[in-house]
Structure formats: structure tokens, C-alpha cells
Amino acid sequence: MNQNDENRLLRRSEVAKLLGIGESTWSRWVAEGKAPRGIRLSLRAVAWRYSDILKFIEERTD
């Protein structure tokens, strides 16, 4: 994985698909503090760094 991949931003639908869960489940986990908070891109747009999602997956599988 190169630096560009790690800094790539994923939208909620991409994160949910990557994890194999529904978007509402992902949103609930974020709201409950069980998942990393996203980066606000605008009033209605939020994204997550790919590297943060990979770290989240690693922490859940240890």
C-alpha cells in the first residue's frame, strides 16, 4: 500500500461495503463512539481515511 492509498477518503457507503455492514450500522457505531469519527468535508458530506478504517479493522480482529 502506498501513501496515496492510506490518505484516500472513503464515504459512508464505501466504508459500510468494505466492512460488510449496513450504512445505518456504521452511522450508529460512529455515534456511539465505537468507530472513528469522520472528516467533515461540507455541511452534508463526511468521509473517513482509508488508513483509519484499516486500523479500526485490525483493532477489532486482535
pLDDT in tens, the chain (62 residues): 566 777 899 999 999 999 999 999 999 999 999 999 999 999 999 999 999 999 999 998 86
3-state secondary structure of 11: strand
Cα–Cα dist 4/2, whole Å: 6
Cα–Cα dist 43/32, whole Å: 21
Neighbours of 19 (CB within 10 A): 16
Task: Measure CA 58 to chain center.
Answer: 13
**Residue 24 is part of which domain span?**
3-61
pTM, whole model, 2 decimals?
0.86
Counted domains in the chain: 1
pLDDT score for 3: 63
CATH of the domain at 40: 1.10.10
